Amino acid sequence: MTPPPDGTLLAQHDALLIDLDGVVYVGHHAVPQAVQALRAARDSGVHTAYVTNNASRPPSTVAEHLRSFGLDVDDADVVTSAQAGARLIADRLPAGSTVLVVGGPGVPECVAACGLVPVTSAEPTPAAVLMGYGANVCWSDLAEASYAVQAGALFVATNGDLSFPTPRGLAPGNGTLAGAVAAATGVQPIFAGKPFAPLIEESIRRVNAVAPLMVGDRLDTDIEAADISGIPSLLVFTGVTDVRTLLLAPSYRRPTYVSADLRGLALLPSDLVVTSVSSGPDGLGPLRAATQQAWPRVDQGDPDPLRDIDVDALQSLVEQALER
């Protein structure tokens, strides 16, 4: 084991909480530089938890997917929102309680692993409902969940993502499915996944982290989750967030650090922090400076917070940094 070079962002943390889609892979392809950076982290003894809002796949399936990219990942390194949701229920209800499960195979598996009993009917009334995404979820599943929630079952949803991208466009996510039950019953679910704290807490517990760093590509899930959980975050530009979205972010969706990709882990935190005045070894100094220009304006309700900021030029800097 080789400790991370002194002073790097990696060396400041004992654990990385890594988002998957847009950070480690996009579709079937590994994100360039990600595998090398994550192998270096593991080789230097920094724990890595792979944190996903996707509840439908069991952790072992996700781990297998990650191993296919050449990453050294144990099944226990994967933390899903289904696990966080099941843990949330297990923390509130006695062992052996019945939980009506809706969603892919990851949902009942995680419920059983927490000492709870997964069921698929609202008759007799289960103690809780755990709703997660599944491609085969149908009306009768939503109806059973609604009956159980009306009868007083604790209503938990793995995550609240309203949609997710598919090759044919946006498809309804678990937040939309849970929203149907909420609309029918008038009861809002407790969400386990990002941006809410349970998934982050479960991840921190999993790797025994003292000084974790959240790494993600989305402001409204990964970065907001870090903010809610009170831990620092690194935003990378290998996924969905562009420069404009970053510059318009409300205060609770602002990362601590920004980097084009995971190579930032090997740089100095003082160069990556959004308040940095350095030109940045990655060429993104002007982007960090622009956040310090735009964000106070956003906070003041300025109608044109991006005036005098050449957003396209900054976006080009990001593209250049990604290609370097």
| Residue from 21, 161, 271, 282 binding Mg ion (CB under 5 A) | 21
Give the CA-trace dihedral at 151, 154, 159, 160, to 10 degrees: 50
Distance from C-alpha of 243 to C-alpha of 294, rounded to nearest angstrom: 11
**Residue 319 Cβ, how far from Mg ion at the closest point, in Å?**
19
Here the tokens at position 31 are 């994100």
Distance from C-alpha of 271 to C-alpha of 242, rounded to nearest angstrom: 20
Query: What residues numbered 293-322 form the site for Mg ion, per CB under 5 A?
Result: none
Strand order in the sheet with 128-131: 117-119, 98-102, 128-131, 154-157, 190-191
Distance from C-alpha of 47 to C-alpha of 292, rounded to nearest angstrom: 32
Q: 22 vs 198, which CB is nearer to Mg ion?
A: 22
| Residue from 141, 161, 202, 217 binding Mg ion (CB under 5 A) | 217
**Which residue(s) pair with 29 in the sheet?**
26
**Residue 21 Cβ, how far from Mg ion at the closest point, in Å?**
4
Here the tokens at position 263 are 């190579």
Total binding residues for Mg ion by CB under 5 A?
5
Q: 19 vs 271, which CB is nearer to Mg ion?
A: 19
**Residue 309 Cβ, how far from Mg ion at the closest point, in Å?**
25
Q: Which of 6, 14, 19, 161 is catalytic?
A: 19
| Contact status: 255 vs Mg ion (CB under 5 A) | no
Q: 22 vs 104, which CB is nearer to Mg ion?
A: 22
Distance from C-alpha of 198 to C-alpha of 192, rounded to nearest angstrom: 5
**Residue 215 Cβ, how far from Mg ion at the closest point, in Å?**
10
| Residue from 8, 15, 18, 22 binding Mg ion (CB under 5 A) | 22
Query: What residues numbered 59-78 form the site for Mg ion, per CB under 5 A?
Result: none
Q: 79 with 203: CB under 8 angstroms?
A: yes
Backbone angles phi, psi at 323, to 5 degrees: -85, -15
Q: 19 vs 77, which CB is nearer to Mg ion?
A: 19
| Contact status: 19 vs Mg ion (CB under 5 A) | yes
Q: Which of 6, 14, 21, 222 is catalytic?
A: 21
299 among known catalytic residues? no
Is the bond preceding residue 198 a cis peptide, omega within 30 degrees?
Answer: no
220 among known catalytic residues? no
Q: Which residues contact 136 (CB under 8 A, 6 or more apart)?
A: 104
Distance from C-alpha of 188 to C-alpha of 81, rounded to nearest angstrom: 17
Parallel, antiparallel or unpaired: strands 25-26 and 29-30: antiparallel
Q: 25 vs 147, which CB is nearer to Mg ion?
A: 25
**Residue 296 Cβ, how far from Mg ion at the closest point, in Å?**
28
Q: Which residue is nearest to Mg ion (CB)?
A: 22
Q: 165 vs 305, which CB is nearer to Mg ion?
A: 165
| Footprint of Mg ion (CB under 5 A) | 19, 21-22, 217, 239
Active site (catalytic) residues: 19, 21
